[in-house]
Amino acid sequence: ATQKTHFSAPSPPPSVAGAAEDRVINLDHGDPTMYETFWQKMGDKSTIVIPGWQSMSYFSDVGNLCWFLEPEFGKEIVRLHKIVGNAVTEDRYIVVGTGSTQLFQAVLYAVSPHDAAEPMSVVSAAPYYSSYPAITDCLKSGLYTWAGDAREFNKDGPFIELVTSPNNPDGHTRDSVVNRTGGILVHDLAYYWPQYTAISAPADHGIMLFTVSKSTGHAGMRIGWALVKDREVAKKMVKYIELSSIGVSKDSQLRAARVLKVLSDSCESPSNETQPFFNSVYHIMAERWRLLREAVKHSGLFSLPEFSPAYCRFLNQSFENQPAFAWLKCEEPIEDCEEFLRSKKILTRSGRQFGVGPQYVRISLLDRDENFSLFVKRLSNIHL
Ligand code: PMP
């Protein structure tokens, strides 16, 4: 059985769930368990030991604007961006957060005027990440309010536009769409990594959000980081994190530092037992998209977005986006794609939650091999 909450539990393992044919496949969340295999292969390299007396203080780096950032983690963030070439880190403040989810809230707090007559509008082009409206409005803040699809936005006054590139759910590379001044752009670059999209140039925006959840796959560590140009904005973000959680778990930051180090080492000095991380996961995503497109073709009931190839300066080759999610459209006469797939025991997230119609669903492609294989097999055999 599945709960109808935002965070229902994933499918139980096959041993308790019965035969593969009638097992429920839960691909509602973007839980990145696909990455476990790479880190298992890394063995002890990515293991850290934290003695009981360590990391006890609230403080990490009192001289830094972000006083709860572990210096080792900050160093590895800069190193990784330099190796991959996906973001400018010069003249930026790094703010660490409990996932980029907390940083998103910190940005809303930091950039909305605290003495305005009405709350600041928050918009993003549909289909947008389903958590944006939910998070923005959960406390019914007087500072900011969700104002929906950025393409339909025509209100005067200041606004915040969330630009997710590549986009969750549809995987397209994006730019801002509200065509006027007075807006603050927040670039959510959770998927701007070479396993998902060509790295054409280092991103150079005022506020950029990143997370380990979709880069290394360590969603459970709950670590994200923001690269922020403006000192006052960075200071207010730090203030928000101080108010909401007095900093960010040091244990997680130390572990994240090690994981980023092993990742960067694998790219800089690959060996027989250490394949470079991004090449390795790029190939997994390429193979998954090949199998998915084959299954969709075989079934004949669905369609997927198409992408144009672009040149990746990190992998030195051209390729098309191979997103973390499939943005699947059910063709006529199916009206409600989520409901239809649920009847086939495939759990997905309805297009409605992303600001579009029920003919679309979002399906996670980052599950473990076994679940992914079962999913494409089942999808390819769905016929009317
Ligand atoms: N932004 C986007 C676009 C995402 O897809 C996700 C994860 N689903 C997040 C932010 C949240 O990431 P985190 O786990 O770091 O909170």
Whether ligand 1 lies within 6 angstroms of the CB of 167 is answered as no
State both tokens at 41: 């292969």
Q: Select from 131, 173, 191 the residue to mutate for testing ligand 1; criterion: most ligand atoms less than 8 Å from CB.
A: 131
d(CA 364, CA 259) in angstroms, rounded, equals 23
Run of H or E residues at 264: helix 250-268
Instruction: Report the pLDDT value the prediction gives residue 152, as an integer from 0 to 100.
Output: 96
Q: Digits of tens for pLDDT over the chain (384 positions)?
A: 333 445 656 655 544 455 787 899 999 999 999 999 999 999 999 999 999 999 999 999 999 999 999 999 999 999 999 999 999 999 999 999 999 999 999 999 999 999 999 999 999 999 999 999 999 999 999 999 999 999 999 999 999 999 999 999 999 999 999 988 889 999 999 999 999 999 999 999 999 999 999 999 999 999 999 999 999 999 999 999 999 999 999 999 999 999 999 999 999 998 877 789 999 999 999 999 999 999 999 999 999 999 999 999 999 999 999 999 999 999 989 999 999 999 999 999 999 999 999 999 999 999 999 999 999 999 999 988
Give nearest CA residue, ligand 1 atom 12: 100
**Ligand 1: centre distance to CA 20 (Å):** 30
d(CA 157, CA 169) in angstroms, rounded, equals 28
DSSP classification of residue 222: -
| 82 closest CA partner among 227, 187, 185, 252 | 227
For the chain, the first-to-last Cα distance in angstroms comes to 25
Give the domains, in start order, of the chain with CATH numbers.
14-39+276-380 (3.90.1150.10), 50-268 (3.40.640.10)
Q: Select from 96, 101, 209 the residue to mutate for testing ligand 1; criterion: most ligand atoms less than 8 Å from CB.
A: 101
DSSP classification of residue 30: -
d(CA 295, CA 156) in angstroms, rounded, equals 46
Single-letter code of the amino acid located at 63? G
Instruction: Report the pLDDT value the prediction gives residue 20, as an integer from 0 to 100.
Output: 80
Count Cβ atoms within 10 A of the Cβ of residue 1 and give its class: 0-12 exposed, 13-18 middle, 19 or more buried: exposed
Give nearest CA residue, ligand 1 atom 15: 99
Ligand 1 nearest-atom number relative to CA 219 = 14
d(CA 186, CA 95) in angstroms, rounded, equals 14
**Ligand 1: centre distance to CA 100 (Å):** 6
pTM of the model: 0.95
Give nearest CA residue, ligand 1 atom 4: 190
Q: CA Rg, the chain, in Å?
A: 21
**Ligand 1: centre distance to CA 298 (Å):** 32
ipTM: 0.99
Q: What are the angstrom distances between the C-alpha of 274 and each of 40, 46, 155, 222, 334?
A: 11, 12, 53, 25, 46
